Amino acid sequence: MKLTILRMAVDTLEASIGGRVRPFMVDALEAAKLQAQEDECPVLAPLNGMDFGIQGQGAAPYRFVLRGEDATIRATKSPKLPGASVRLSALGLAYYEPDRLLDALLSIVAEFLGPDEEPKLSRLDLCVDFQRFDVAGPHGARFVTPANFRPVYPNAEHPETFQFGRGKVVVRVYNKTRELAVSGKTWMSGLWEQNPDYDPAQDVWRFEVQYRREALKELGASAPADALAQLPELLRYGLGWADLRIPCGLSSDRWERHPAWSALAEATGTHTTLNRERAVASIGDLPMIAAAVAGYTVSAGVRLDRFDFDDVWGILGRKVRDRLGDEGNFAASVKRRRLERLGREART
């Protein structure tokens, strides 16, 4: 079966780190949190070359939250909890290799906690984006899974998302193109466009498996290094946990796996790593942004029926300038967007 694999990646990674936050760091975080409450705006904090916003509110059970575009750090002074927790976002993992981004976060946390503590994974999400197979299409296949919780959204007549499980292991198979239309994560299409086989006229579907702490422990992947060393195996396990098969006979154990799922499983063995994203040195990967702008410029050329780059760019530039207004408005928009990204809730 000709299935186009656009991207395989770590989509979310969460880890907790034991230890106690140093008293002087508690004092600094308390002061910054109070300032954020008074100003009703996160307090900017550049750490290890990355920008974070110290929030005015915590996130139970953590008292302190430092939110950035690429990751979120949570910390507490309670002796009953790990001193800190880090969450690597989908956006951050699109720009950085998982181990390098995690190392950068752990270096920051070490300043909070003192001597290095061994991190333990609390969540790991892996995903595969693909085209040329409509999971909701009339192919007659059925999912075989041990999960009792199996909702279909928005409904069984017009399925866009299939979910299996809600505990240690959760698998979601959903129309990513339609999800992006709601979430507005326009940067994602820029990743797909790097694949020469990407067809913007076709919907992209995503297979996503989420492992929680207990499942990671059972699979021998509690430590980040152990999990990152066996990403193909973890992804294949997820494909088997929610397996798409072709009904034949009464026993689902005898049903053949659908060629699409066989192709996805085979792809996990043909790539040495699942995280094919580039590592960059700072927030704001200009080549990635340029790729997205290039895609929009081509779309504008199609809409205008013009083939000269400078011609299209001139028209598009004037439209953009009209949209943004004067230079003062542009500067204000940049500052506002920067604060919004440092203060908003991380999306998965």
Write the pLDDT tens digit of every residue in 274-302: 322 333 333 345 665 776 687 778 878 88
Query: Would you say how long the chain is, in residues?
Result: 348
In the chain, pLDDT over 70 holds for what percent of residues? 88
Total domains, the chain:
3
Same domain, yes or no, for 109 and 133?
Answer: no
Residue 134: pLDDT band by 50, 70, 90 thresholds? very high
Tell me which residue range forms the domain holding 205.
4-10+123-270
Write down the pLDDT at residue 291.
64
Tokens 């049903």 belong to 255
Tokens 């290094």 belong to 225
Contact predicate 75/29, CB 8 Å: yes
Same domain, yes or no, for 225 and 300?
Answer: no
- pTM for the full model? 0.77
What is the SS3 assignment for the chain? CCCEEEEEEEEEEEEEECCCCCHHHHHHHHHHHHHHHHHCCCEEEEECCEEEEECCCCECCECEEEECCCEEEEECCCCCCCCEEEEECHHHHHHCCHHHHHHHHHHHHHHHHCCCCCCEEEEEEEEEEEECCCCCCCCCCEEECCCCCCCEECCCCCCCEEEECCCCEEEEEEEHHHHHHHHCCCHHHHHHCCCCCCCCCCCCEEEEEEEEHHHHHHCCCCCHHHHHHCHHHHHHHHHHHCEEEECCCCCHHHCEECHHHHHHHHHHHHCCCCCCCCCCCCCCCHHHHHHHHHHHHHHHHHHHCCCCHHHHHHHHHHHHHHHHCCHHHHHHHHHHHHHHHHHCCCCC
CA distances from 303 to 177, 230, 277, 314, 315 (A): 21, 45, 31, 14, 12
Rounded to 10 degrees, the C-alpha dihedral 230/232/238/244 comes to -160
Same domain, yes or no, for 102 and 130?
Answer: no
From 211, 240, 193, 192, select the one nearest 126 (Cα to Cα): 211
Q: What would the two tokens of residue 88 be? A: 């690597």
Beta strand pairing call for 120-131 and 4-17:
antiparallel
Tokens 């430590």 belong to 223
Residue 348 lies in a domain: no
Same domain, yes or no, for 245 and 266?
Answer: yes
Q: Reading across the β-sheet that carries 243-246, which strands appear in turn?
A: 142-144, 243-246, 256-257
Q: What is the mean pLDDT of residues 191-216?
A: 95
Task: Give residues with Cβ within 8 angstroms of 261, minimum separation 6.
Answer: 239, 243, 244, 245
Q: What is the mean pLDDT of residues 217-225?
A: 92
Domain stop point among 99, 122, 145 = 122
Same domain, yes or no, for 29 and 99?
Answer: yes
Same domain, yes or no, for 42 and 71?
Answer: yes
Residue 193 lies in a domain: yes
Same domain, yes or no, for 53 and 27?
Answer: yes
Same domain, yes or no, for 181 and 103?
Answer: no
Write down the pLDDT at residue 281.
35
- Please count the CA atoms within 13 angstroms of the CA of 184 that sit on its side-chain side: 1
- Please count the CA atoms within 13 angstroms of the CA of 180 that sit on its side-chain side: 16
Residue 327: pLDDT band by 50, 70, 90 thresholds? low
Write down the pLDDT at residue 336.
61
Write down the pLDDT at residue 329.
73
Instruction: Please give the Cα distance from 314 to 299 (Å, whole number).
Output: 14
pLDDT above 60 (res 347): no
Residue 300 lies in a domain: yes
Q: What is the mean pLDDT of residues 30-40?
A: 96
Over residues 88-104, the pLDDT tens digits come to 999 999 988 999 999 99
> CATH number, domain at 35?
3.30.310
